[in-house]
Structure 1
Amino acid sequence: MQPSLTGVAPILSVENLTTSFRVNNEWKSVVRNVSFDVAPRETVAIVGESGSGKSVTSLSIMRLLPKATSKIEGKVTLGGKELLSLPEEQMRRVRGNDISMIFQEPMTSLNPIFPIGRQISEALMVHRDISKAEAKAEVIRLLEKVRIPNAKNRFDEYPHQFSGGMRQRVMIAMALATKPKLLIADEPTTALDVTIQGQILDLIKVLQEEEGMSVLFITHDMGVVAEVADRTIVMFRGEQVETGATDDIFHRGQHPYTRALLSAVPKLGSMGTRKLPLRFPIVDTTTGEQIVMADVADTVAKGKTPILDVKDLTTRFDIRSGLFSRKSGAVHAVEKVSFQLFAGETLSLVGESGCGKSTTGRSITRLVEPTEGKVTLDGYEVMQLDRSALRTMRRSIQMIFQDPFASLNPRMSVGSAVMEPFVEHNLGTKQQAREKAADLMAKVGLSPDMMRRFPHEFSGGQRQRVAIARALMLDPKVIVADEAVSALDVSIKAQVCNLLLDLQQNLKLAFLFISHDMAVVERVSHRVAVMYLGEIVEIGPRAAVFENPQHPYTQKLIAAVPVPDPSRRSIKRNMSTDEIKSPIRPVDYVAPIRQYREVSEGHLVQVA
C-alpha cells in the first residue's frame, strides 16, 4: 500500500482492478484496469452513466458478485488487508466491521416483514458482542444520529411505514452501526425527491465529520458530485478516463466524455429572465466538440381557446376499514386544481412524491376517475364522456410514463407496440400503420430497422424514445409526460428533452410535464405549477416562479437542488427532516376555500 500524496496511508487502495463476467462460456471484461486511493476522511466520487462500470467496481471491492459467473483481478487493499485473497469468513467480518454499503433502493435492501429496529439490532449483534437491550439502545442512538424524528417510538415500525427518504436514513443507520472505516454509497439519492436528496447529502457530510470515515460515492449526477466529493473518478465504458480533484474536473476537465457529462447538466438559475425553453447543449463524447443547438421558437398559441382547461379538479380515494368495510376517511390526492394549457406550450407540474402531480395527469385522461371538477380537452367535456367517447377523446391526449420498460410489452416487438394504437383505433391499414411507425421511429432518432427488435434489446434512453413514438401514433394535441426523463442518465436525459422540444416545435404539441427535477423543469417549461398536498400553491411563467419564488414550499424546492459547483462543497442547507404531511382526511373533512394573490402578470401564489 503506497502513501497518498498527503503522506498519509490510504484507507482503500485499488490497483488495476479488472472484473469480467462469463457470457456464453467466454469471459467478457466490464471493468478494466481501474486504480485509485481513498484517503482517511476523504470523499471520492465515481461518476459515469449506466453501463460505465461504476457499480460493478464497488461490488467488486466488496466481493458481492456471484462467484460462478464473475472473475475479479487486481489488488484491493483496505487498512492493510488484501481483500481479494481473503477467505470468505474473514471477508464477511470485513464487510460488517470495516466497510459498509448503502444501495440505491432501500426498500429492496430492507426486509418488509421485520421492524427496522430489529433489522439494525441483528446487524449489531452479529458483529459486536452485546446484549439485546444494549443493541436496542445503540439502534435508537443511531436512528437519532441520522435525524429520524421520534426514534424511540419508531423502533418497532416496519419499512412500509417510512417514506423513501426516511428508509434511506434507516439504511445509513444500519451502515454506520459498526463504525466502518469506509462507507460505499451507491446512487443513494437517485430515487429520492430533490428536498429529500438535499437532506441525505447534508446528513452524509455531517456523519462523515462526526465519525471520521471515508466515503466512496457512486453517482451519475454531477450536481451531487460537486457538492460531496473531494476527488472525482470519471468512468466510461468500463474504463477510468479521468481522475483528479473535483474542482479540476469541473473547471479544467480534459477528456471529451468528462466535458460531455458536464455540458449536459442543467444549471439552476442559468435561464435568467429568458421566456422560452432552451435546448440542452450536446457534446460529442469522442471529440469533446459542442454541437450547436438552435434556439427554440415560440410555439404557444396565445390569446386563443386553451387546448386543455381544468377547473376545480378533485380526486379522492376512499379508505375503508372494519368488518363491513365502511368508509373511514379518504386520501385527498388532488384538491380543487385549476389551470389552462395552450397549444404549443409546456406547463410543468412540480413537487415531491405524494403531492398529487401524477394523479392530476391520470385524472385528466380519466385513467383515474376524478371525484369532481371540470376538464375540457380539445372540445370534449372529459368528465361527461361515456366509454366509447372517452376512447375517441384519448386520441387527443397521450401519456409517456417514467419507466418505458414497464409500459412496453416484453413479448411484442417495438414496431408492433408503436403500431398498436393506430391499428386499435382503426385509423388505417396495417401497411399504413407500419409506414407511419417507421416515420415516427426516424423522427425520434431511431432507425426504422429497429422495429423488429424487442424492448430488452434497447437501452433505457432508446426505450423512452420508443414510448414517445408510440404516444405520437394517434397525432395527439396534448402529451402528459409523467416523470418521463427522471430515470435517465444525464446525457440521455438531455437528448430526450431536446427531442421533446423539437417535436413540440414541429407538431405544435402541448406538454403537461410532470417532474420533481427543478433544473430540468426550468430548462423546458413555459409555465410552472408547484403542487403540495394535492393543491397548486404557486403557478406562473417559468422565469417569474424561478426568479421570484413566493411560496415557502417553492423556495424550499429550489434551495434543495444540487448545484454543479465544487465551491459549494462545504455548504450545508440545514433542511428540515420533517416528512411530507399525510393527505389522509376524515370522512367529515371539508377542504378550505383557497385564495390566491397575483404577484405579477400570470404569477399567482396561494395565500396562507
Structure 2
Amino acid sequence: MVEISNGNLQVEAPVLSVKDLTTSFKVGDEWRSVVKGVSFDVAPRETVAIVGESGSGKSVTSLSIMRLLPQNSSRIEGSVKLNGRELLTLGSEDMRKVRGNEIAMIFQEPMTSLNPIFPIGKQIAEAITCHRDVSTAEAKAEVLRLLDKVRIPNARNRFDDYPHQFSGGMRQRVMIAMALASRPKLLIADEPTTALDVTIQGQILDLIKVLQDEEGMAVLFITHDMGVVAEVSDRTIVMFRGEAVETGSTDDIFNRGKHPYTRALLSAVPKLGSMGGRERPMRFPVIDIVTGETRIPETEAGGVDNARRPVLEVKNLTTRFDIHSGLLGRKSGAVHAVENVSFDLREGETLALVGESGCGKSTTGRSITRLVEPTAGAISLDGYDVVNLNRTALRKMRRSIQMVFQDPFASLDPRMSVGSAVMEPYVEHGLGPKAEARDKAADLLERVGLKADMMRRYPHEFSGGQRQRIAIARSLMLDPKVIVADEAVSALDVSIKAQVCNLLLDLQQSFNLAYLFISHDMAVVERVSHRVAVMYLGEIVEIGPRQAVFDNPQHAYTRKLMAAVPIPDPARRSLKRNVSTEEIKSPIRPVGYVPPVRQYREVSAGHLVQV
C-alpha cells in the first residue's frame, strides 16, 4: 500500500479517488447529465456511503466507476483512479481484468445478475478461476467456504442448484459470495442487503467489517437503509438530482445535517420502538426537500372493525414441494415450505408476515392466490372457496386479490411499456375501454410518485425503486379487496418508502383494503401493521396485535429478529453485531415424515405463541 509522508504523519493513499465525475446519456440528439461533478475518495478500510432517492444518480455513479455503462449512449468525464491508476482511459481488456478482481460489485437485483442456466456453484467458481490459477477442486473448496460464510444452508448439497431454486434473500447471499471471491481491494455494494432479512443482514455487515480489517478492503456502500448507513459508514455522501448536496462524517450528517434534503431523508427513517403505546398504524412525516419543512405531518391511520367477518380466512394451510432423486426420479423427500398455517384478515386491516428468507412467507402469499398449489388446508376469500375453484372461477377470484412481487424487474415485461403493463389487468378483465384504462393508469402512476408522461417508457429506463412503484400501481388497477405485498417497499429509498407506505395507508382507509404485508423490515412492519405473524421454518411461531408482539415478544426467534434490526445511530458504527451464524435448519423432510402437532398459549387477547 502506498503511503505519503506528511511530516511525522503517515497518510495512506486512497484506494479510490473520484474527481469531477460527470456521466451523461444521449437522449435524441443531445446529452443529458445524470451525475454532475461528483468528487470523493475512499481510503483503505474505510466505508463511504452514497444515499439518495431513486434516480438521484447513486447507481449510475457506481456503474461509471466500473465502466459498465453502454459506450454508444453514455459519456463519462472526469477522473476515476484505483490505487493511483486511471480507469477511464484503460483499454477494454485491461478493464476486464480489474473488474471482479481489484474491484468487485454486488448488484441491487440478484436474479438479473445471476445466469439462470448455470448452477450457482459454477458461477462463483468462474469468478475465482478467471483471476486466479487454481484447480477445479481448489475452486470448489473455496466456493463452499464462501457459501458457508454467507450462511447458505446445506451449502455442499446446493452447489449444483440453479438461481430459481433460491429465495430472493438467498440469491443475494450468492451474489455477495461471488463478489468476495477474489478478495478485492474495493467492494462496491449497490443495495447489498435490500433482499435480506435482518438477521442475515447483520451477519453480512459483520462479514464486510471483518474483511475490511483483514484485507484493508475499501467499501463504497450504496443504500437507502439509513440504519445500515449509520452502522457501517465512516463518511456519507448525500446525492440529489445527480449532485452531491452534502458530504461529511456520518456522525455530522446524522446529527448536524444542514441541507433540507438530508433532513428530509433522516425524518423518513422508521425507528424500531417509535410506536410504543400506539395501537393503530402511523403515517410517516414527509419533509419538503426544498425548504426542509414538514409537508405532511405524522398522523394515525385507520383502525379495524373486529365485528366484521374476515375477507380472508386461512385454515391449516400446508404447501410442500416434492424432491425427486436417483435415475428413476423417485420421490425422496419434500420441502415443507408452509406447515399448518392459520390466520384471518379483515377489511381495512394489515397483517404482517415476518421471518427469515426461506421461512415460507412468500410461499404463503402465493398459495393464497394459487400461484402455487397448496397441499392441504382451506382458504376463503371474499366468499370464494379458493382451493376448489376451477380455472374460470379462479381468474374471476383474482380480481379480489392482487400481488406485488419482491423483484419488480422480473415481474414487468421488458418488451412492454409501463403504461401498457399497468393497463393490462383492467383491459384483460374487460372492465372498460382502453381510454378509460389509460386514464386510470395515469392517475395511479401519479399517486405512487411517478409522472403520467412516463407511460411510454420501458422498465429498463427506470431505477429499481421506480419499477417497484410501477408494480404497486398495477396491483391497484382492479380495485382489489386484498393485496399481498411481498417486500413491496424493500427496494425503495427511505423518503419514497415513507411516501408509498403513506399511500398504502391512505388507500386502505379510503377503500377498506386488506393487506398481507410480507416484509423483513421490522421497523416498517411496526409502523404500518395492525397485527404481526412471525414465521419460522414454515410455521407461525407467534401472532398477535402489533403492539403486543413488539412490546412483549415471547418467542426466542421473535426476539432474535428484533435484536438484529439496524439502529440509525452512528455511535454504533464500531460495533459488531456478533449475530449467531448457526446454520439455518433445513425445511426438507424425508418421505413419510409427520410434523408434530403444535400447541399455542395465549399471552394476552389475540397474542399467541408456540410452545
TM-score range, shorter chain: 0.7 to 0.9
| Structure 2 match to 1:309 | 313
2:499 maps to 495
Aligned position for 1:171: 178
Report the secondary structure of 1:593's partner residue: coil
Sort the Cα spacing of 1:3 and 1:528 in 2 relative to 1 into closer, same or farther, 3 A.
farther
Deviation (angstroms), 1:337:
0.4
Are the structure 2 counterparts of residues 189 and 300 from structure 1 closer, same or farther at C-alpha, using a change threshold of 3 Å? Answer: same
Contact map agreement 2:331 2:591 (CA 8 A) in 1: yes
Q: 1:547 to 1:61 in 2, by over 3 A?
A: same
How far off is 1:70 after superposition? Answer: 3.7
Distance 1:589 1:501, change over 3 A: same
Q: Distance in 2 between matches of 1:410 and 1:96?
A: 27
**What is the alpha-carbon distance in structure 2 between the residues aligned to residue 392 and residue 152 of structure 1?**
42
Tell me if structure 2 keeps the 8 A contact 1:21–1:29.
yes
* Structure 1 SS opposite 2:402: strand
Whether the aligned pair in 2 keeps the contact of 1:284 and 1:290 (CA below 8 Å) is: yes
Kindly indicate whether residue 359 of structure 2 is the aligned counterpart of residue 355 of structure 1. yes
**Following the alignment from structure 1 to structure 2, what is the Cα–Cα distance between the partners of residues 430 and 103?**
37
Distance 1:83 1:364, change over 3 A: closer
The corresponding residue for 1:342 is 346
| Aligned equivalents of 1:299, 1:419: Cα separation in 2 | 31
Q: 1:440, CA displacement in angstroms?
A: 5.6
Q: Give 3-state SS (helix, strand or coil) of 2:347's partner.
A: coil
- CA gap of 1:243–1:422, structure 2 versus 1, over 3 A, is closer
Name the residue aligned to 2:603.
599
Bigger mean CA deviation after superposition, 381-390 or 301-310 = 381-390
Equivalent AA in structure 2 for residue 8 of structure 1: V
Identity %, equivalent residues: 71
Letter in 1 for 2:340: K
Give the partner amino acid of 2:24.
Answer: S
Residue 541 in 1 paired to residue 545 in 2? yes
1:225-244 correspondence to structure 2 within 5 Å: 225-244=229-248
**Counterpart for residue 63 of structure 2:** 59
- Go from structure 1 to structure 2 and tell me whether the alpha carbon gap of 1:287 and 1:390 turns closer, same or farther (over 3 Å shift): same
- Report the counterpart of residue 125 of structure 1 in structure 2: 132
What is the alpha-carbon distance in structure 1 between the residues aligned to residue 359 and residue 499 of structure 2? 28
8 Å CA contact 2:317, 2:339 repeated in 1: yes
Q: Which amino acid aligns with 1:207?
A: L
- What residue in structure 2 maps to residue 476 of structure 1? 480
Corresponding position of 1:76: 80
Q: CA deviation at 1:14?
A: 2.2
C-alpha deviation, 1:510, in angstroms: 1.4
Give the SS at the match of 1:175: coil
Partner SS state of residue 406, structure 2: coil
Residue type at the aligned position of 1:204: I
Q: Contact 1:159 / 1:167 at 8 angstroms: preserved in 2?
A: no
The answer (yes or no) to whether the contact 2:153–2:584 under 8 Å persists in 1 is: no
CA distance in 2, matches of 1:313, 1:366: 12
- Residue 115 of structure 1 pairs with residue 106 of structure 2: no
TM-score where L is the length of structure 2? 0.86
Distance of 2:519 and 2:125 partners within structure 1: 36
Q: Deviations over 1:560-606 (max 9, x none)?
A: 22221111111211122344332222220111100111222211111
Are 2:546 and 1:510 equivalent residues in the alignment? no
Work out whether 1:368 is the aligned partner of 2:372.
yes
Q: Distance in 1 between matches of 2:575 and 2:85?
A: 35
- Once the two structures are superposed, the pairs formed by residues 344-493 of structure 1 within 5 Å of their partners are 344-404=348-408, 406-408=410-412, 421-422=425-426, 424-425=428-429, 464-465=468-469, 467-493=471-497
**Residues 213, 600 of structure 1: alpha-carbon distance in 2 compared, 3 angstrom cutoff:** same
Deviates more, 1:200-209 or 1:88-97: 88-97
**Helix, strand or coil at the partner of 2:480:** coil
Q: How far has the Cα of 1:60 moved from its partner?
A: 3.1
How far off its partner does 1:261 sit?
1.7
Q: TM-score, normalised by structure 1?
A: 0.86
* 1:267-324 deviation line (CA, Å, top 9, x unaligned): 1111113111011121122222221336234331123322222111112222334455
In 2, Cα distance between equivalents of 1:602 and 1:42 = 48
3-state SS in 1 of match to 2:594 = coil
Instruction: Spell out, residue by residue over 1:119-178, the C-alpha distance to the aligned partner (whole angstroms, 9 max, x if none).
Output: 35424535xxxx6499669948974994769999689767758843642452243131xx
> For residue 297 of structure 2, what is the amino acid of its counterpart?
M
SS at match of 2:251: helix
Cα gap change, 1:234/1:363 in structure 2, threshold over 3 Å: closer, same or farther? same
Q: Is 1:192 matched up with 2:196?
A: yes
Q: Note closer, same or farther for the CA distance 1:437–1:76 as it changes in structure 2 (3 Å cut).
A: closer
For 2:13, give the aligned amino acid.
Answer: P
Q: Which segment drifts farther, 396-405 or 526-535?
A: 396-405
Q: Is the 8 A contact 1:598 1:605 kept in 2?
A: yes
Correspondence for 2:218 among 198, 214, 218: 214
Give the distance between the partners of 2:68 and 2:436, measured in 1 at CA: 51
Give the whole-Å Cα distance in 1 for the aligned partners of 2:73 and 2:436: 46
Structure 1: distance between partners of 2:144 and 2:418? 52
Report matched runs for 1:177-326 at 5 Å: 180-293=184-297, 295-326=299-330
Query: In 2 relative to 1, CA 580–605 (structure 1 residues): closer, same or farther, beyond 3 Å?
Result: same
Q: Is the 8 A contact 1:116 1:156 kept in 2?
A: no
Against the structure 1 CA distance between its residues 427 and 333, is the aligned structure 2 distance closer, same or farther, given a 3 Å change threshold? same
Structure 1 residue identity aligned to 2:188 = I
Separation in structure 1 between the aligned mates of residue 91 and residue 449 of structure 2, nearest angstrom: 50
CA contact (8 A) 2:54 2:465 kept: no
Q: Tell me if structure 2 keeps the 8 A contact 1:223–1:563.
A: yes
Instruction: Give 3-state SS (helix, strand or coil) of 2:132's partner.
Output: helix
Deviations 1:76-134 (A, max 9, x none): 344344444456666566557654444445666667356367435424535xxxx6499
Residue 477 (structure 1) shift: 2.4
Partner Cα separation in structure 2 for residue 458 and residue 604 of structure 1? 43
Q: Secondary structure at the match of 1:254?
A: coil
3-state DSSP of counterpart to 2:182: helix
Kindly report the root-mean-square deviation, in angstroms, between the aligned alpha carbons of the 2 structures: 3.7
State which drifts further: 397-406 or 567-576: 397-406
1:452 Cα deviation after fit: 7.0
- Name whichever of 12-21 and 81-90 sits farther off: 81-90
Unaligned 5+ segments in structure 1 are none
Contact preservation (8 Å) 2:104, 2:180: no
Alpha-carbon contact 1:146-1:169 (below 8 Å) kept: no
Q: Which amino acid aligns with 2:338?
A: V
Aligned CA distance change for structure 1 residues 487 and 579 (closer, same or farther; 3 Å): farther
**What does residue range 137-152 of structure 1 map to in structure 2 within 5 Å?**
139=142, 143=146, 146=149
The answer to whether the aligner puts 1:10 opposite 2:17 as a matched pair is no
